[in-house]
Amino acid sequence: MPATAAQILDALPQTQCTRCGYPDCAAYAQAIAAGDAAINQCPPGGAEGISRLAALTGLPALPLDPAFGAEGPLTVAVIDEDWCIGCTLCLKACPTDAILGGNKRMHTVIEPWCTGCELCIPVCPVDCIQMENVSGKRTGWAAWSQPQADTARQRYAFHVLRLQREQQENEQRLEEKARAKLADLPAHSQHTDPAVLDQKRAVIEAAPARARARRAGSP
What is the CATH architecture assignment of 5-68?
Orthogonal Bundle (1.10)
Residue 181: its pLDDT value, please?
Answer: 65
Residue 209: its pLDDT value, please?
Answer: 65
State how far Cα 64 lies from the chain centre.
24
For the chain, the structural domain boundaries read 5-68, 75-142, 146-216
Residues 151 and 98 sit within 8 Å (Cβ to Cβ): no
Report the C-alpha gap between 43 and 72 in whole angstroms.
7
Alpha helices per DSSP H over the chain: 5-10, 25-33, 46-57, 89-93, 146-183, 194-216
10-residue mean pLDDT series, the chain (219 residues): 93 98 98 97 97 96 97 96 92 95 89 97 96 97 96 96 85 74 59 60 64 58
Q: Decide: helix, strand or coil at residue 77.
A: strand
Residue 168: its pLDDT value, please?
Answer: 83
The candidate with the shortest Cα–Cα distance to 146, out of 62, 5, 78, 52, is 52
Q: Interior CA angle at 70 toward 119 and 152, to 5°?
A: 45
Q: What is the identity of the amino acid at 107?
A: H
Report the C-alpha gap between 60 and 36 in whole angstroms.
15
Residue 170: its pLDDT value, please?
Answer: 78
Q: What is the identity of the amino acid at 178?
A: A
Residue 129's H or E segment, with its range, is strand 129-133
Of 3.40.50.620, 3.30.70.20, 3.20.20.70, 3.40.50.11540, the CATH number of 75-142 is: 3.30.70.20
Report the C-alpha gap between 42 and 25 in whole angstroms.
9
